[in-house]
Amino acid sequence: MKTLPCGHVAHAAGNRLCRHVFDAVRTDYYALLTGRGIEADLCCAECVEAAERGDVPPLVKVCEGCYDRRAEDVSGWRGEPGITERPEPVDGTLLVTPLPDGLGTVLDVAGVPGRWLVLTADARLSLLDPAGGGEEVAAGILTPEPDERPRVRRLFRHRLHVDGDGRFAAVVNDHGRHGRVVDLRTGRVTMTLHGGGGGSTR
Ligand SMILES: [Zn+2]
Ligand SMILES: [Zn+2]
């Protein structure tokens, strides 16, 4: 790794800043889409105009940190995104997979890439394969709620949420106050949630 023009010894960001944004001569700037996916260089209005005319504006390489910090403050987007196409027929066959024997009562289901995450009444989280079979990833995952008011009891439900990558799951109590975040790779609880004393978490 070598020292970048921003003065940091770090990985260069995939995209760049125009010289004027880099020198902070212009503090108002745009994310100029390069036509590769949603990649964008950060450019002042003059450099955006130059690029639209077909000229190449003066661009400076910076580290990912310097790029990301400035990317938070863009005034707008210019240019065109790249559109990726992959035309192919979609298989509309519905695949029905029976739940494994002994799984027990299912409280909630969430999709993770390629699999299903299932929360069962015996406080376990299991990852199920659409082709059949599965594995337990965590146990003892439900948090009880002490609230005995009948209205709350009636609405109370254990619910499951998964992040987009399928790495973390949150097991929370709707109309309760408690919940836990689980790392699905290790099965460990990484965070204990508490909605505070003023009401329910919903
Ligand atoms: Zn510029
Ligand atoms: Zn930097």
Domains of the chain: 12-80 (no CATH), 106-194 (2.40.10.480)
pLDDT in tens, 168-202: 999 999 888 899 999 999 999 999 988 776 544 44
Closest ligand to Cα 46: 1
> For residues 113 and 164, what is the distance between their CA atoms, to the nearest angstrom?
8
Is residue 143 a contact partner of residue 173, using CB atoms and an 8 Å limit?
Answer: yes
Rounded to two decimals, the pTM is 0.53
CA of 4 from ligand 2 middle (Å) equals 7
d(CA 165, CA 111): 10
pLDDT bin (cut points 50, 70, 90) of residue 154 is confident
Three-class DSSP category at 53: helix
**Adjacent-strand bridge partners of 109:** 118
- Cα dihedral sign, 57-60-63-65: negative
Q: 20 CB contacts (<8 Å, ≥6 apart)?
A: 26, 29, 44, 46, 47
Range of lowest pLDDT (111-125, 139-153, 174-188): 139-153
Ligand nearest to the CA of 64: 2
Measured from the alpha carbon of residue 57, the closest ligand is 1
